[in-house]
Amino acid sequence: MSNIIRFPVIAGVEITTDNEGRFNLNALHHASGLADHKRPSKWLATEQAQDLVLVLQTLSPSEGLAQNPINTIKGGIAPGTFAHELLAVSYAGWISSVFQLRVNQVFINYHTGKLQQPKVPTRLDLIDMMRETEVMRIAAQAAQERLSAELETNRPKVNFYDRVVLADDAISVGKAAKVLNTGSKRLFSFLRQNRWINDKNEPYQLMIERGYLYVKLRSWNHPNQGLQHSVTTLITGKGLAKLQELYENNGAVA
């Protein structure tokens, strides 16, 4: 049995022919993927197409050309406008130059037998595809279940992190203590023990560089002592998230 295809195929569309070998222009239009403004009737109404049809009609069938280059079939199982191959290639060029080159090459391969019949899957092929699809479905379902479980487990931490890390402004240690459900003095002591702040409750430079703490400087004029300065330690959203992690790890050092 020959493996040469019966009709050329372009963009997955079979370009059928009539009994005299004229090609289906409607199938070509469908293969182009373009709208109605490029349908065959629009092209056949152009002066260029009419000239080509007239020239082909004057040529002798002995020269390998059909006496009637255009054939319109209405109704039946294969309706459409069928045209001589030269007209079909010209119609493709009217659609676009790139499409014309593609159609021309497919027609050449079609005539030279280079277009091969695609392999028809056997029953065993279909069974293998079904098995592979089922394996992929089970794997995807298992991955989705694992992800859902991880999200559910981490939901409290995720909610806390989103709530504080995305905060616009740093907050005081007192407010941070309320967020962490602890006391202000206890949190200050915890920060000193873990070397976030010194004995004067001023942040260490390392904690500032890590983005955990923020320093707010304030200056004022004292009537007797002159210009005075104060340092207020604030905790950033990132710092709160880190403190939450430390608390969950029983006060481990950062």
Confidence at residue 254, expressed as pLDDT on a 0 to 100 scale: 45
Instruction: Give the pLDDT score at 167.
Output: 44
pLDDT above 50 (res 227): yes
Q: Has residue 117 been placed in a domain?
A: no
The verdict on 44 and 102 lying in the same domain is: yes
Shared domain for 58 and 132, answered yes or no, is: no
* pTM confidence score: 0.44
Domain contains 228: yes
Domain hosting 181: range is: 171-248
123 pLDDT band, cuts 50/70/90, is: low
Q: Assess if residue 1 is contained within a domain.
A: no
pLDDT in tens, 44-77: 999 998 988 888 887 756 555 656 888 887 766 6
Do 21 and 101 have their domain in common? Answer: yes
The Cα 79–Cα 25 span in angstroms is 11
| Residue 40 belongs to some domain of the structure | yes
